Amino acid sequence: MHNFEYHKPSSVDEAVKALGAGEDPTLVAGGMTLIPTMKQRLAAPSDLVDLSGVAELVGVSDEGDHVKIGAMTTHAAVAASSDVPPSLAALAGNIGDAQVRNRGTIGGSVANNDPTACYPSACLALGATIVTTQREIPADDFFTGMFETALEEGEIITAVKFPKPEAGNYQKFENPASRYALVGVFVAKTKEGVRVAVTGAGQDGVFRANDIEQALSSNFSPDAVDSSSIPVDSLNGDIHASAEYRQHLIGVMARRAVAAING
């Protein structure tokens, strides 16, 4: 790891200010991706702005038709919260291992937009809104590509707002080695209809499976799911799973999610 300047602000305002300093500053939330990357010397920020001292970024609050989760809320806290929709709590409770869940945060995960992370699929499927220091961004506009988001320089995620769904379920097929999502499918019945988001599979990161959404809108049953229309050349292939296998698994996971919702 290269040397860096360390900042530990205690408010969002201080964090924004600290982020303005240095040549190549970066935020660290739980550090579950950034710290290993720095240790491998693949990232070498000049300044590290640690958000762990910003108390206002932590916590879950029930806001009536939606639940608001502070950006620095850990996966473990989300998993344990009774205010969070059960499908989202279950997703959080199955990210990584206990150590990761007690360090990793929703804001860090969403900002990183790892194409194999779980949270982005929940944001898309549940129609979440990403709240930042500058604006509110609908999830549909937020995830712009692999490890890429709509965040501008100096913009900090403060919270994620999830509308409460009628029902939802997340099915993850884990990469046997890393246990990240090889394919993860979040199916939600929302006020705006059925939304299906897929993580782990897309070359551009998380995406909505429109054909499956349409099929489920008219017939919400496992039999209605068909993933074969998702173009194979839009999907990732690697040593663990070819694009064809991922296409197939999207269907399997979606069917299982629908079956779980239907009970």
Q: Contact 58/68 with Cβ under 8 angstroms?
A: no
Residue 16 is a binding residue for another protein (CB under 8 A):
no
Whole-number Å distance between alpha carbons of 166 and 50: 36
Cα of 209 vs its chain's centroid, Å: 16
- Selected range binding another protein among 106-114, 142-150, 187-195, 235-243, rule: CB under 8 A: 235-243
| Residue 218: CB atoms within 10 Å | 8
**Nearest to 110, CA basis, from 140, 143, 154, 81:** 143
Residue 1 is a binding residue for another protein (CB under 8 A):
yes
Q: Which of 217, 224, 240, 259 binds another protein (CB under 8 A)?
A: 240
- Selected range binding another protein among 73-81, 103-111, 154-162, 248-256, rule: CB under 8 A: 248-256
Could you give the 3-state DSSP secondary structure of residue 149? Answer: strand
Q: Which of 83, 248, 259, 260 binds another protein (CB under 8 A)?
A: 248
Residue 142 is a binding residue for another protein (CB under 8 A):
no
Smaller CB separation from another protein, 134 or 178: 178
Residue 185 is a binding residue for another protein (CB under 8 A):
no
Q: Contact 45/24 with Cβ under 8 angstroms?
A: yes
Please report, as ranges, the residues that interact with another protein according to CB under 8 A.
1-2, 40-41, 173, 175-178, 180, 239-242, 245, 248-249, 252
